Chain A
């Protein structure tokens, strides 16, 4: 009888605890659903009037006495250009760093290097932006003989700094997860250490590394403060890294503050938010799939 009572109590306790953890776990699902709902709710009236076609134009000029235009193409190309530059710069450093940390570095080196990489991840983006504005942008202007140092490449370099820690830590985990027998077999066959790293270990971890890169892209495309400070924010369609660009994130951050509530401009900004969300959503989904594939490796 006593046993039964105790069993019942623990059963009841179990249920409560399970419920608490379940609600904790589903909060994020609920929040994501609510965000989608909220964004959609604010954005949809724009699709009816003035129509979704207004968004698919090449000029973003939301405050105008002549004609307000809400073309988001320059904002999308701006975000993509900055992200592309950042990733091209961050991948060699990030993957190279991860290879070194997991395969080559001695324990002491690793203990010295790791905190610095983590520290880099912890620097507030506004501080990085400030550094960019004061130090990097005049330098870029001088080196490339430009009329202004506020452009896509300055933003890209700073964002690369922010993407490196993400890429390093996720790729390092992926490389570490490569089964020991693969490297051992390679070394036993007479391959050098470098050959083993580039021909066996890295290819075996490639899906994890790609997931790391995608996560890095996600970090970069959503970054706001830094790009707002250093990219010059001129909304024009360009592929030149030496031109000023305006990103989706900077547009929302800069304009949301004083936009008249319920106006076309306000709703257009919500569309920018939706498109940005779709981008990051796709990235997360893609990296998730790749990660899953890599988990099932031999």
Chain B
């Protein structure tokens, strides 16, 4: 008799536990304003960095409970607008349209710059090209140039690789390099930075763009192109110094957003990110400190 119902009893206990847990969670979330738990959601580019920060922060503040999830900058901003996250990590600036939407929900996003990220243009190591100007890059990615010979390379068709349109990097590259023009319809849209590296390392004629951290990690598999600024003739390679002093043109700030004035824990967390220790983590994870 008892045996017969054992499974059911076990299931009921499990169910009770689970409702207990989720109930507990939602209570936590309601109180996040003044307790020690913090949720951070947003950019996939920043997820390693924010996780490393959270771990280091929790070591110093054992009472703090920080949960970090990715999903993309847009997802994070949407979560901030819906009140389902305390902090939002974004590799792009919040759009005016999103601010408008937020204010209609009486949410007032406050921006904190916590680091920088360089974007490297990569080609196959066998490609003879070493330097490209911003103008040439624009022409390649918008499809005005379709052959490497047009930029003094070998006589071969250019295969343009881009990230997917949901990527913050896609939008940033479009804004800075393509000067807000559209990518060529011939561009192959790759689902992840790793697939761009994979393709560039095997296709001799392809060109793509990825975060500097990824490009440096890829090592010999790809060649990082030096960029020639507008009004200049000197090629600049993306390094910590050139991104920091602004001479490398394709770099962007990384942001954290809060709703209005940050809570005490959010404030201390942001202060931690911008501290010497926090910025050391920025370097360790392959990004550029402030």
Contacts and interface: CB of A to CB of B under 8 A. Distances in A.
Interface of A: 59, 61-66, 133-134, 138, 141, 147-150, 228-229, 232-236, 244, 246, 254-261
A64 B183 CA distance: 9
Interface string B153-193: 00011010000111110110011000011110111111100
Given A147-B203, A261-B78, A254 B175 contact: no
B190 A148 contact: no
A134 B74 CA distance: 30
A258 B43 CA distance: 10
A254 B167 CA distance: 9
Contacts of B72: 257-258
23 contacts: A61-B182, A61-B185, A62-B165, A65-B175, A65-B180, A66-B181, A134-B198, A148-B159, A148-B203, A149-B202, A149-B203, A150-B188, A232-B188, A232-B189, A233-B191, A234-B189, A236-B185, A254-B166, A254-B191, A257-B72, A258-B72, A258-B74, A260-B97
B172 to A, nearest CB: 11
Nearest to A262: B101
Contacts of A149: 202-203
B73 interface: yes
B11 to A, nearest CB: 17
Nearest to B164: A254
Contacts of B187: 234
Nearest to B181: A66
Chain B interface residue number, banded: 35 or more
B185 A234 contact: yes
Contacts of B164: 233, 254-255
Contacts of A147: 156-157, 159, 203, 205-206
Interface in B114-167: 156-157, 159, 164-167
Most buried by B among A59, A63, A138, A256: A63
Chief secondary structure at chain A's binding surface: loop
Given A234-B186, A244-B186, 15 more contacts: A59-B185, A61-B185, A63-B166, A65-B180, A133-B195, A147-B157, A147-B205, A149-B203, A228-B191, A232-B188, A233-B164, A244-B188, A258-B166, A258-B168, A259-B166
Contacts of B183: 61
A233 B186 CA distance: 9
B199 interface: yes
In order of increasing CB-CB distance, the 4 nearest A-B pairs are: A65-B180, A258-B74, A258-B166, A258-B72
B75 interface: yes
A66 B74 CA distance: 20
Contact of A258 (B75, B95, B98, B195): B75
A256 B185 CA distance: 20
A234 B141 CA distance: 13
B189 A257 contact: no
Contacts of B171: 63
A155 B97 CA distance: 38
Contacts of B180: 65-66
A149 B203 CA distance: 8
B198 A255 contact: no
Interface string B195-237: 1001100110110000000000000000000000000000000
B222 to A, nearest CB: 15
A149 B174 CA distance: 25
B71 interface: yes
Nearest to B184: A234
Contacts of A228: 191
Contacts of B165: 62-63, 254-255
A198 B174 CA distance: 58
A232 B78 CA distance: 29
A65 B174 CA distance: 8
Contacts of A236: 185-186
B48 to A, nearest CB: 18
A233 B97 CA distance: 28
Contacts of A246: 189
B280 to A, nearest CB: 30
A20 B251 CA distance: 60
A234 to B, nearest CB: 5
Interface in B63-77: 71-75
Nearest to A228: B191
